C-alpha cells in the first residue's frame, strides 16, 4: 500500500463544525473518530442600506395585524389549507427536535452512483481523522470505499437530523447532507416527458465526436471564477482609494414609537 506523506497542520482548516465518530456497522463495535469541516467559504457580499443616511436595514419581527413584536412572542404553526392553521406549543416544537448526535451510525453501504445531486442539501463537509491514532483506520476505510465505488449511508444530526452519505472524493472522505426522499421531486416525472424517438446511430457518433473535441485535457472547476465578487471587490478598492467612504448614521429610531406615532396621525386624519 502506498504511503501518504505527512503534511504540516494548517491554521487554514478553521474550526471543526462537528466532531464525532463513524460507527461502521450495526453488528460491529468498530468506529472511526472524525471531525467535519465545512467545504464552503462565505464570499464578500453587499449590505442593504437606507440610501439617505447609509444605515444598514434591519429585518424587524412584525405582525401585519399588531405591528412590531418581540422575538419571544413568536410561535410555530402549519397551514394545512389556505387560511386554516394548527398551532404548536413550544413543548410540541421541542419534542420534534433531536439532540446533536456525535455518532454517524452506518445503516448500510450502497453504490456511489446512488448519490443523486438532486437529493443533496448543498451542505458537504470534509472529514478528517480526529487524531493521529485514527489516521490508519480512516485511510483503510477510505480506500475500501474507493475500490468498491461505494458510500456509507445513515442519518446524522448536526444542525438538524437528515440522511447523509460518506464517500471518498479528492483524496479524503466527504460527508454530504441529503433531503429525505419524500421531499425530492422524482426525476421520472420529468423524464417521462421525453418522446420515445428512434435515434440514428450516426447522430450519436457525431455528438460523441463533438464532446471529445471539446473535452478538457485537465479539468478544474477554477476555470469558472466568481467574477461578480471579484469585480465588486475591485470596485470597493477604487472607492477606498478615491476617498469615497461614508459613515452610517448612528441615530436609532424606536420602531414601536414610530408605529404608534403613525397610528395616531392616521386617527387624527380620520377625525
As a whole number of angstroms, the distance between CA 162 and CA 184 comes to 13
Residue 34, pLDDT score: 96
Residue 149, pLDDT score: 95
Residue 66 vs residues 138, 257, 259: alpha-carbon distances, Å: 56, 13, 10
The mean pLDDT of 149-170, rounded to a whole number, is: 91
Cβ(230)–Cβ(42) below 8 Å: no
User: 52-55: which pairs have CB atoms within 8 A and are 24 or more residues apart?
Assistant: 53/248, 53/249, 53/251, 54/246, 54/247, 54/248, 54/249, 55/248, 55/249, 55/250
* Residues linked to residue 104 through DSSP beta bridges, in sequence order: 22
Residue 131, pLDDT score: 92
Better-predicted residue by pLDDT, 126 or 91: 126
Q: What is the pLDDT of residues 175-213, one digit of tens each?
A: 999 998 888 888 888 899 989 999 999 999 999 999 999
**Cell numbers standing for residue 155:** 442519518
Cβ(75)–Cβ(90) below 8 Å: yes
The mean pLDDT of 67-95, rounded to a whole number, is: 87
pLDDT at 142 over 80: yes
pLDDT at 22 over 70: yes
Residue 267, pLDDT score: 47
Question: Of 124, 117, 123, 122, whose CA–CA distance to 185 is shortest?
Answer: 117
> Please, what are the domains in the chain?
14-41+96-183 (2.40.290.10)
Q: Specify the pTM.
A: 0.74
The mean pLDDT of 47-65, rounded to a whole number, is: 85
Residue 24, pLDDT score: 94
Q: Which helix (H) or strand (E) holds 79?
A: strand 76-81
As a whole number of angstroms, the distance between CA 108 and CA 152 comes to 6
pLDDT category of residue 4 using cuts at 50, 70 and 90: low
Residue 265, pLDDT score: 47
pLDDT category of residue 95 using cuts at 50, 70 and 90: confident
pLDDT at 8 over 70: no
The mean pLDDT of 107-135, rounded to a whole number, is: 91
Amino acid at each position: 500500500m502506498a504511503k501518504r506523506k505527512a503534511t504540516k497542520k494548517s491554521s487554514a482548516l478553521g474550526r471543526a463544525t462537528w466532531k464525532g465518530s463513524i460507527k461502521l456497522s450495526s453488528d460491529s463495535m468498530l468506529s472511526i473518530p472524525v471531525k467535519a469541516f465545512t467545504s464552503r467559504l462565505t464570499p464578500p457580499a453587499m449590505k442593504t442600506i437606507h440610501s439617505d443616511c447609509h444605515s444598514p436595514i434591519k429585518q424587524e419581527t412584525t405582525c401585519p395585524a399588531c405591528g412590531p413584536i418581540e422575538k419571544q412572542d413568536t410561535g410555530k404553526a402549519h397551514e394545512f389549507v389556505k387560511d386554516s392553521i394548527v398551532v404548536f406549543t413550544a413543548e410540541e416544537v421541542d419534542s420534534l427536535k433531536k439532540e446533536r448526535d456525535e455518532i454517524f451510525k452506518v445503516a448500510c453501504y450502497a453504490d456511489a452512483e446512488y448519490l443523486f445531486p438532486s437529493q443533496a442539501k448543498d451542505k458537504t463537509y470534509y472529514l478528517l481523522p480526529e487524531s493521529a491514532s485514527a489516521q490508519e483506520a480512516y485511510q483503510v476505510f477510505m480506500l475500501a470505499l474507493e475500490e468498491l465505488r461505494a458510500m456509507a449511508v445513515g442519518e446524522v444530526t448536526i444542525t438538524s437530523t437528515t440522511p447523509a452519505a460518506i464517500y471518498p472524493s479528492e483524496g479524503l472522505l466527504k460527508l454530504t447532507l441529503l433531503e429525505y426522499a419524500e421531499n425530492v421531486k422524482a426525476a421520472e416525472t420529468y423524464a417521462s416527458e421525453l418522446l420515445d424517438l428512434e435515434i440514428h446511430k450516426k447522430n450519436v457518433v457525431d455528438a460523441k465526436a463533438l464532446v471529445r473535441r471539446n473535452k478538457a485535457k485537465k479539468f478544474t472547476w477554477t476555470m469558472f471564477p466568481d467574477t461578480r465578487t471579484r469585480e465588486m471587490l475591485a470596485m470597493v478598492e477604487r472607492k477606498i482609494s478615491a476617498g469615497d467612504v461614508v459613515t452610517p448614521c448612528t441615530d436609532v429610531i424606536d420602531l414601536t414609537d414610530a408605529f404608534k406615532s403613525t397610528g395616531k396621525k392616521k386617527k387624527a386624519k380620520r377625525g
